[in-house]
Amino acid sequence: MKREKKKFDHFYQLGWQLDPLGGPSGEAYKAEQDGRKLFLKRNASPFLAALSAEGIVPKLVWTKRIETGEVVTAQHWKNGRELTREDMGGLRVAALMSKIHTSEPLLTMLKRLGMKPMLPEILLNKIQSSLSPKVNAHHVVRNAIQYLENAVPEIDAADLRVCHGDVNHHNWLLSDTDELFLVDWEGAMIADPAIDLGMILYPYVDHSEWDSWLQNYGVELDNDLRSRMKWYTFVQAITMIQWYEDRKRFTEMNEWILFLSRVIDKDRLI
């Protein structure tokens, strides 16, 4: 903590009170001074400015380079709550996802930052090269990997868009003034939008409501979209299974195995 405090000496000296917000990176703080509140983050991507301009995240106030050479960004602090599981099936989530996936400024910015498309073949190679023997041997995972290998989607480059990559309900913020934001963009990528859609529909939205949710988003549900969503959902579920196994968090690992099994059972004909 002393090391972290030293990195933010500049702000302490200016009279700001800083409270660490935790998380895996330890780089986010709530800053308060004379009733003014900011969200500070070290080493945020330059992509944050484009997200702020589009209204996807709380407004970017400033960017500063501190004595350590690191860059600190400040955003307006927004009181609010994360979305519930029930909220995820709502019109506003569909509308904001559509705005993100159709945004040309966001896509242009990621390309300027040198990001290459995250194609299905790349994702499959990452899965195949990263699994531990234990995870790789699990019958549910083996079943899913066999599907992945036999059903790699063919993607038109024109259909690749900006995707968040981790759209679980904890990453959505509904402010006290009724503004909806999608935060935590460290995993942003250029990819098939089905990578985000599948991880909203499968965990949160009843199958009977998929058509209406996707109509609000702006597309029709057909077999091609359904199969792509299934494929990417397998990839993300297996990735999370391995992530939790690496950290010996076996309860969460088993929850993801059960989720993967349910997805397999729901869409056996796709």
Q: Please identify every residue annotated as catalytic.
A: 166
CA dist list (Å): 178 to 62, 82, 199: 24, 12, 24
Per DSSP, helices labelled H in the chain are 2-7, 9-13, 47-53, 91-101, 104-112, 120-130, 133-137, 139-150, 194-204, 210-217, 223-246, 250-266
Cα(52)–Cα(38) distance, integer angstroms: 14
The pair of structure tokens assigned to 93 is 């989530």
Amino acid at 95: A
Cα(117)–Cα(211) distance, integer angstroms: 28
Amino acid at 111: K
72 within 8 A of 64, measured Cβ to Cβ: yes
Q: Would you report the helix, strand and coil content of the chain in percent, each value rounded to 5?
A: 50, 15, 30
Amino acid at 87: D
